[in-house]
Amino acid sequence: MTVKIQVFSDFVCPFCFIGESPLKQAIEGKDVEVEFMPFELRPYPSEQMHPNSSYIKQTWERSVQPLAQRFQVEMDMPFHLDPVPHTHLAHQGYQFAKENGKASEYVDAVFKAYWQKGINIGDAVELTEIAKEVGLNEKAFNEALAEGTYKEDHKEALRIAYEEADVHAVPTFIVGGQKLEGLHSKEAIAEAIEEEEGGFSQGASCGPEGC
């Protein structure tokens, strides 16, 4: 029986990027179906956070970096991108990638572009280049962003996250019938896959007020 896993995530959430690693390890060799589910920590056009603020710097040093090292994830805080870019266009691009069979490749590339290369994923030109790198039609992708082709699809995805799934912080993993909120080890995710039910432990996560 295939276990469906929904991963509610935002590209500018550091714990979401870290969480990709234990998830991939946990599902290896298992009969699972993983679906990325868009979430905006600070929905456009709300004011974004500033990475050079003392709060963000302290969170980076005290929480994010230690967790990245623990999970062996290479990442750097793009302090030069101030404020933190909005992600609505990146998520609309995901809808295009999903429709064209490149969902997982696109998600992985966008995460790495921001957290490893310091690329502004709030910029349509940069997103188009990412789309090209994963094998998507750059002209069609760029036109879709410019024309807002997937604007309503993204709006519906957010409604599902906020209303149906009742997600308040990311990452949130819905494994079968159980919800895992926050960052979890590969063992915890693997156990959830095997059980498909039961409780969960609280992990590190990001919410609208910060990480």
Tell me how far apart the alpha carbons of residues 50 and 82 are, in angstroms, rounded to a whole number: 6
Within its chain, how far is the Cα of 187 from the centroid?
Answer: 20
Q: What is the pLDDT of residues 20-32, one digit of tens each?
A: 999 999 999 999 9
Termini Cα distance of the chain: 35
pTM recorded for the entire structure: 0.92
178-181 sheet: strands from edge to edge: 32-38, 3-9, 172-175, 178-181
Q: In this predicted structure, what is the pLDDT of residue 205?
A: 76
Q: Catalogue all structural domains in the chain, each as residue range(s) with its CATH number.
A: 3-195 (3.40.30.10)
Q: What is the pLDDT of residues 133-153, one digit of tens each?
A: 999 999 999 999 999 999 999
Query: Who contacts 159 (Cβ-Cβ below 8 Å, separation ≥6)?
Result: none
Q: Are 102 and 135 in contact (CB under 8 A)?
A: yes
Tell me how far apart the alpha carbons of residues 164 and 183 are, in angstroms, rounded to a whole number: 21
Tell me how far apart the alpha carbons of residues 5 and 141 are, in angstroms, rounded to a whole number: 27
